[in-house]
Amino acid sequence: MLKLLKTHFGFDQFRPLQEEIIRCLLGKRDVLALMPTGGGKSLCYQLPALMLPGLTLVISPLISLMKDQVDALKANGISAAFINSSLSRGEIAAIQKDALQGKTKILYAAPERLSLSEFQAFLQKVKVSLIAIDESHCISEWGHDFRPDYLNLKTLREIFPETPVMALTATATEQVREDIVQQLGLDRGKTFISSFNRPNLSYTVLPKKDSYGQLLEILREHRDDSAIIYCLSRKDTENLAADLRTEGFKALPYHAGLESEERRINQEKFIRDEVQIIAATIAFGMGIDKPDVRLVIHYHLPKSVEGYYQETGRAGRDGIPSRCILFYSSADAGKQQFFIKQIEDDLERKNAFRKLDQMVEYCELATCRRHYLLSYFGEDYREESCGGCDICLSPLVEFDATIISQKIMSAVIRTGQRFGMNYVLDVLLGSKNKYIFERSHHQLSVYGIVDDFSKDDLRRITGQLLSRNLLEKSGDEFPVLALTESGMSFLKERQEIRLPRPGSTARLAAPEAADDEYDRALFEKLRLRRKQLADAQGLPPFVVFGDLALRQMALYLPQSEENFARISGVGEQKLKQYGKVFMEIIETYAQENNLPEKTIPVKRSDRSRRVKREGSTYQETKILLLRKMSLEDMAAARGLVIGTILTHIEKLAAAGEDLDIGYLRPPAEKFARITAAFQQSGGTALIPVKEMLGEEFSFEELRIARLFL
């Protein structure tokens, strides 16, 4: 075994459990192997395939995985092939002929192929010495990735009753493991469970606030590293990849809706480091043989802990430190709940709700994330601090939560322990919800007694009470809150409790430069100059620049127009009017004190991204503007009303697009009257100006004129 290991795979020794699994298979015993991604599962069937006389049949769910595995095996001098829908009938016939002649040691096939009678007939003619079923959790309806085609695998037992079967997976709870054993008839086999711990991975959950800005910051830290960003929908992947390309990143989308050739090309470019970033749905990544992914980001909430663990497992497969970052908001959980409610099968729907609930629990943890993940898979992790998650590296600030906890738990009791979290919190906050009044819960002593926490804060505190086993939830689609025995004791004995303060966030990423790091001496110089300029124009100083802008100047020391324009509150006009004056002060100060200029991170609003995105509805309107079409003709050409076309033009202008709209400007006399009316109104609102000018002027004319003011 060691000789083959070195000759074909280049390793001098086995990883944990590999040798034991191989010996079991060579002894013709079935095996269920649970090993984390990157733990060396594939070698457990590839090496015995070389030692056994016949063919090893490998069932694999994705065409891309088969190709990667076969290419790698051939590179290692091992005869391998695959049969799937990407091949012609002639190519499949040639591969089957080689297998029948004993020229192939390992043959990959998709599970759906087993339903074809001709493929079953072919298998019965071949000496199959070993059957390996990759991603075996797909056979279980309790798993996160159930695939009905995997149920076809039961026929393998009927065709090859004496052939050892190996089931492999990186993610399976105890319930899923039992299901795999039952479905595949592995009762006489042996189960091997490797540690689920991936010590080289760090785990961080970030609040979904300016998530795109945070994402850019993280990607800039890892500019030359490979990254996978998981999104909820196909459209999300395409939009995000397009947005990242406009920021100078090499990024491509990947989802099941792309043409197979485009998917193949995008994956190939990622694997070959021609692009650094793949924005993908969960269709991407299963079995990807790319060991140097340094960053796995979940831009939206995953459906289950199993799915999340498997997807994060694609980071750092070479053992080098890599990061797993998840952006979380309760709104994302709401989106997932909407999709789950569409599931018709009761059992499947309940299972999906339960898995989502566990995923939310992970996101709202105040304790070690690694401990939660390992406990989920039944592994006991006893380290006090993992040293590799945001909670352990940056503990959350705690506060005395005794009183607010008592209020929440009292509200649960007073409402009869038969309502969900949202309803209980609405009672506490004094909501005017009609159902509260219909049930007379507005007369309860707990109604409206909380005014020092927001609903989001209360939701997080309630989550902590659940995790501390003071409250419990029952039910799936509409879970109900109730007190546990511990919760009743807590209230009865007036116990005290400290919990993480809502709104305090731990994060693993290097902290941004804080405002208090700005150079105060420079700030004073800038503030003095601001005052002089303001006095000369008869303006309040903040009209020139606010304090925030001056602090940023004193922090980043911008000395180029490009960098200065990134300061908060610096628009084109202020850049033109004041930029040179302030940059001269900054440049002189920086030279005198030997201080370097710092790059200011660019923040893009979601609206600006949508407007600038190639192919967007706004860009279609811009093309018509370039043709100097009238508002009426643009509206007719696009099948829209004139008001919508004007909204597009306004948003294009706000996003900084270069527009030539001079031809739309009202005639000089009209424009002068409109300008005077806006100045007299003292604002940008249309109605006061319309009232001044009367019926002679349309709202459309006012909106167009406003763009020039």
Indicate the pLDDT class of residue 3, thresholds 50, 70 and 90. Answer: confident
**Of residues 71 and 236, which shows the higher confidence score?**
236
In 231-291, the DSSP E strands lie at: 251-254, 277-280
Indicate the pLDDT class of residue 60, thresholds 50, 70 and 90. Answer: confident
pLDDT at 510 over 70: no
pLDDT at 525 over 50: yes
- Pull the structure tokens for residue 10: 């280049």
What is the predicted pLDDT for the residue at 416?
Answer: 93
Identify which of 413-417, 526-530, 631-635 has the greatest average pLDDT: 413-417
Q: Quick one: average pLDDT of 147-157?
A: 81
Q: Quick one: average pLDDT of 229-245?
A: 93
Indicate the pLDDT class of residue 477, thresholds 50, 70 and 90. Answer: low
What is the predicted pLDDT for the residue at 414?
Answer: 94
What is the predicted pLDDT for the residue at 512?
Answer: 36
Contact 541, 530 (CB under 8 A): yes
N-term to C-term CA, the chain: 80
Indicate the pLDDT class of residue 602, thresholds 50, 70 and 90. Answer: low
Instruction: Give the domains, in start order, of the chain with CATH numbers.
Output: 2-193 (3.40.50.300), 201-393 (3.40.50.300), 398-500 (1.10.10.10), 515-593 (1.10.150.80), 606-706 (1.10.10.1390)
Per-residue model confidence as pLDDT tens digits over 348-364 = 888 888 899 899 989 98
Q: CA 424, 428, 429, 433 torsion: positive or negative?
A: positive
Indicate the pLDDT class of residue 514, thresholds 50, 70 and 90. Answer: very low
pLDDT at 640 over 60: yes
DSSP string, 163-213: S-EEEEES---HHHHHHHHHHHT-TTSEEEE-----TTEEEEEEESSSHHH
Indicate the pLDDT class of residue 551, thresholds 50, 70 and 90. Answer: confident
Per-residue model confidence as pLDDT tens digits over 369-392 = 999 999 888 888 888 788 889 888
Q: Quick one: average pLDDT of 661-690?
A: 86
What is the predicted pLDDT for the residue at 508?
Answer: 47
Identify which of 298-302, 314-318, 474-478 has the greatest average pLDDT: 298-302
Mean pLDDT, rounded, of the chain: 85
Indicate the pLDDT class of residue 681, thresholds 50, 70 and 90. Answer: confident
Per-residue model confidence as pLDDT tens digits over 158-193 = 888 889 999 998 777 788 888 888 888 887 789 998
Per-residue model confidence as pLDDT tens digits over 84-108 = 888 889 999 999 999 999 999 999 9
DSSP string, 378-414: T-----S--SSBHHHHSPPPEEE-HHHHHHHHHHHHH
> Which residue's entry shows tokens 């079995």?
287
Q: Which of 73-82, 190-199, 453-462, 611-620 comes out lowest in average pLDDT?
A: 611-620
Indicate the pLDDT class of residue 656, thresholds 50, 70 and 90. Answer: confident
Per-residue model confidence as pLDDT tens digits over 8-56 = 776 667 888 899 999 999 989 999 998 877 678 889 999 999 999 899 9
Contact 300, 179 (CB under 8 A): no
Burial of residue 504 (number of CB atoms within 10 Å: 0-12, 13-18, 19+): middle
Per-residue model confidence as pLDDT tens digits over 108-145 = 998 888 888 889 899 999 999 999 998 888 887 776 66
Indicate the pLDDT class of residue 269, thresholds 50, 70 and 90. Answer: confident
Q: Quick one: average pLDDT of 400-429?
A: 93
Identify the CA nearest to 230 among candidates 359, 109, 103.
Answer: 359
Q: What does the alpha-carbon distance between residue 74 and residue 550 come to, in Å, rounded to a whole number?
A: 62
pLDDT at 409 over 50: yes
Percent of the chain exceeding pLDDT 70 equals 92
pLDDT at 503 over 70: no
Identify the CA nearest to 377 among candidates 469, 295, 310.
Answer: 310
What is the predicted pLDDT for the residue at 513?
Answer: 35
pLDDT at 288 over 70: no
